[in-house]
Amino acid sequence: MMTDEQFARAVHGSGLVTRDQLKDYAAQRIAGESLARTMLRLGALPPGEILRFDPNALDNGAPNGNGGGVVPTNGGGAAAGNFAFAGPGNGGNGQAAQPMARQPAQPLKARARLEATAAIPANVPLEMPAEAAPIGESAEVGLGANNVEKIEGRFIVEGGDDNDDDPTLAPVVQWANEMLKMAISMGASDVHLEPNPDGLLPRYRIDGALRSGNMLPVEISLPLISRLKVLANIDITEQRLPQDGRFRAHYGKRTFDFRVSTLPNLHGEKIVLRLLDHSSLVTDLSKLGFSKGDEKRFGSMLNRSHGMILVTGPTGSGKTTTLYAALAASRDETKNVITVEDPVEYELRGVTQTSVHAEIGLTFAAALRSILRQDPDTILVGEIRDQETADVAVRAALTGHLLLATLHTNSAVAAITRLQDMGIPAYLIASALEGVLAQRLARLSCRFCRQPISADEPELEDWLHYFDIPPGTQLMRGVGCEHCGGTGTKGRVAIVEMLEIGPKLRRAIMAQKDTDELRRAAREEGFTSLRDDARTKLLAGYLSPTEAMKVLVGHED
C-alpha cells in the first residue's frame, strides 16, 4: 500500500498538480482518508489518473501508514523527495508542516474509511430575511435546500452479496459503490452514464439540471454497466434492447431505491439510474414552500369527504411530491386510502398502492373501476390523461369519494377547460371539482452566498417592472460558492396558484364561460396567481429574478 508521501511525490512529479494544489487537497482530508482518496472524492483529477499513480486508491481496507496530511515542503521540491506531513489542523499551511520524522504519529482510526462519511442533505431551517414570514409555519423550506449533515454508515446494496466493507471486492464493485454514494451525497435525483469512445461520463441531475462528473476510463465502462445491470436484475447478455429494473441500497440508516433503465446507443448502452430516497419524502406542505394561506386552503380542501382536487403543472414540477404530502396529511386509520400510479415510486404506510400495467390492460381507468369496488374513502389517480379516466374519476368524486389526481395543464384555470375538452359535461365539472393547484418548482437562491443585487445592475429595472415591484426595492440572488457548486442555487421550492371553487366560479363553470371570465370569477373569490406567488418569494429573497421569471414561461395569468 502506497503512503501519502509516495503518492504525492508521484502525482507532483507527473506535473498534473502543483505544490499548492497538493497542499490544498491535503488540507481537505477527512480523518483516516488517504490523499489519493481525498483527491478522488474532490474530483481533483479524473479517477483514472489517480488510479494510475495509486492502483489501490479506492480500497477501503488497510490503513496507508499515516494519519496526517501531506504537503510538499517549501525547500527542495518534489524531485528531491522533500515532502513533509502535517496534522489535519495545519495541513493547509506549508509553513506549519513539520519534517516527517518530527511529526508525532497520528492516531489511526482503523475503520474510519470503512464507515463511509458523506455530506448528505438534511432538513435544517433556512435563515430567511424577516420579510420571508409569509412562507408557511415552518422555517424549513425547500426540497434539498438544506445544509449538509454528515452521516456515517456502511453502503450496502441489497442482493449485491457484497458490500463496501470488504477490501477484496472487485474494483468495479468499488467504482459502482463510489458512484452511487457520490450521487447520494450530492443529492442527485438521477445518474446518467453514457458510453463514448473516451470513456464513461457520469452526469448527475441536481435540482433539475445535469452536472458532469469526472470521465471514467474506457476499461471500466463495460464492467461498470454490467455490474449495474446485474444489480438491477437486467439480462446482461442483451445489449440491443432497452431494459429496465431496480435495486435497493442502504447507506447508513437510510434506504434508497434505484430505478435503472438501459438504452442502446452507438457506443454501447446508456444507463440512467433514478434515485428514490425513502427518507426524503416530504410530508409537510410548508416544507415545500406553500404560503400559510395556501397551506390552509389546500388543507381545508383535503378535509372534505368528497369531490375532486387536481394538481397541474408540467413534468418535473413536483406534482407527485405535493400529492403524497397531501395524502400523508389526510390519511388516518378511519379511512381507506387507495392509489393508482404509473408506477408506484414511494411506499406510503397505511395506503394501498397499485401500479398501472397498460400492457395487460390495467390502465388508469380500469384500475380506478376496480378501486371503486374496494370501498375507498380517498383515491389518488396518478394522472388523468384520457376521457375514460376523466369520466370515471368525476363520477367517483360525485359519489362520495375524495379524488386526487394530476393533469397536464399550464395553469389552474386551464384544468377546467381541459376537462371540458375531454368531454366531461360542464355541470358535472361544476359539481365535482373542489379545487385546482397549479405548481412549478423554482431553484432556491443558495443561502450561503445570497447577496443583494446591485442597484447598478442594468436589468434590475426590467425585473422590478416585470413583477410590478416599486423601483428601488432590493432583490437578491446567489453568486456561487462551495455549497452550491458555484451555481448560486441550492434546493428548490414550490411556486403555486390555488384555485378554490367557490359559488361564483361554480356558476361560471356551469355557464361554460371562457378562461378569461373564469379567471375573473376566481380573482373575485381571492385567487392568487403563480406570478403573485413568484413575486412574494422573490421579495422574500428565496428566488433570484431570473429564476422567478423562468417559472412563469408558458403561464398565462
Residue 197 CB, nearest distance to Zn ion (Å)?
35
Among 188, 449, 475, 552, binds Zn ion (CB under 5 A): 449
Tell me which residue of 434, 407, 556, 438 sits closest to 505, measured CA to CA. 434
> Is the CB of 403 or the CB of 446 nearer to Zn ion?
446
The letter for the amino acid at 546 is T
DSSP letter for each residue of 205-273: EETTEEEE-PPBPHHHHHHHHHHHHHHTT--TT--SS-EEEEEEEEETTEEEEEEEEEEEETTEEEEEE
> Is the CB of 397 or the CB of 484 nearer to Zn ion?
484
> Is the CB of 221 or the CB of 487 nearer to Zn ion?
487
Only one of the segments 277-285, 349-357, 447-455, 536-544 lies at the binding site for Zn ion (rule: CB under 5 A); that segment is: 447-455
> Is the CB of 141 or the CB of 365 nearer to Zn ion?
141
Q: How many CB atoms lie within 10 A of CB 504?
A: 14
Among 483, 504, 520, 523, binds Zn ion (CB under 5 A): 483
Residue 124 CB, nearest distance to Zn ion (Å)?
15
- 50 sits in which H/E element: helix 47-53
> Is the CB of 189 or the CB of 489 nearer to Zn ion?
489
Angstrom distance (rounded) from CA 190 to CA 203: 8
Residues 6+ apart with CB under 8 A from 357: none
> Is the CB of 68 or the CB of 478 nearer to Zn ion?
478
Told to check if 346 binds Zn ion by CB under 5 A, we report no
> Is the CB of 224 or the CB of 449 nearer to Zn ion?
449
The DSSP code for 436 is: E
Residue 337 CB, nearest distance to Zn ion (Å)?
40
Residue 464 CB, nearest distance to Zn ion (Å)?
24
Size of the site for Zn ion (CB under 5 A): 7
Cis, peptide link before residue 503, omega less than 30° from 0: no
Residue 542 CB, nearest distance to Zn ion (Å)?
14
For the chain, state the CA radius of gyration: 27
Only one of the segments 97-105, 426-434, 481-489, 496-504 lies at the binding site for Zn ion (rule: CB under 5 A); that segment is: 481-489
Residue 449 CB, nearest distance to Zn ion (Å)?
3
The letter for the amino acid at 185 is S
Tell me which residue of 265, 260, 218 sits closest to 243, measured CA to CA. 260
Residue 207 CB, nearest distance to Zn ion (Å)?
12
Q: Which three cell numbers stand for residue 526?
A: 381571492
Residue nearest to Zn ion (CB): 446
The letter for the amino acid at 455 is A
Only one of the segments 135-143, 165-173, 430-438, 475-483 lies at the binding site for Zn ion (rule: CB under 5 A); that segment is: 475-483
The DSSP code for 362 is: B
> Is the CB of 236 or the CB of 479 nearer to Zn ion?
479
Is 272 in contact with 261 (CB distance < 8 Å)? yes
Residue 214 CB, nearest distance to Zn ion (Å)?
22
Query: How far is it between the farthest Cα atoms of the chain?
Result: 89
> Is the CB of 113 or the CB of 450 nearer to Zn ion?
450
The residue count for the chain = 557
Per-residue b or e along 318-331, where b marks 16 or more CB atoms closer than 10 Å to that residue's CB: bbbbbbbbbbbbbb
Told to check if 484 binds Zn ion by CB under 5 A, we report yes
Only one of the segments 219-227, 349-357, 438-446, 521-529 lies at the binding site for Zn ion (rule: CB under 5 A); that segment is: 438-446
Residue 263 CB, nearest distance to Zn ion (Å)?
34
Residues 6+ apart with CB under 8 A from 514: none
At 291, is the secondary structure helix, strand, or coil? coil
Told to check if 448 binds Zn ion by CB under 5 A, we report yes
Only one of the segments 11-19, 407-415, 478-486, 519-527 lies at the binding site for Zn ion (rule: CB under 5 A); that segment is: 478-486
Q: Of residues 389-428, which lie at the interface with Zn ion (CB under 5 A)?
A: none
Residues 6+ apart with CB under 8 A from 201: 193, 194, 212, 213, 215, 216
Told to check if 335 binds Zn ion by CB under 5 A, we report no
Told to check if 446 binds Zn ion by CB under 5 A, we report yes
Residue 476 CB, nearest distance to Zn ion (Å)?
12
Among 481, 502, 525, 550, binds Zn ion (CB under 5 A): 481
> Is the CB of 477 or the CB of 555 nearer to Zn ion?
477
- What φ, ψ does residue 55 adopt, rounded to 5°? -60, -15
> Is the CB of 448 or the CB of 466 nearer to Zn ion?
448
Q: Of residues 516-555, which lie at the interface with Zn ion (CB under 5 A)?
A: none
Angstrom distance (rounded) from CA 455 to CA 439: 31
Residue 536 CB, nearest distance to Zn ion (Å)?
22
Give the contact letters, 115-134, x = binds to Zn ion (CB under 5 A), - = no: --------------------
Tell how strand 433-445 and strand 489-500 pair up.
antiparallel
Only one of the segments 130-138, 324-332, 357-365, 473-481 lies at the binding site for Zn ion (rule: CB under 5 A); that segment is: 473-481
Residue 450 CB, nearest distance to Zn ion (Å)?
7
- What φ, ψ does residue 38 adopt, rounded to 5°? -60, -45
Q: Which three cell numbers stand for residue 338?
A: 387507495
At 186, is the secondary structure helix, strand, or coil? coil
Residues that bind Zn ion (CB under 5 A): 446, 448-449, 478, 481, 483-484
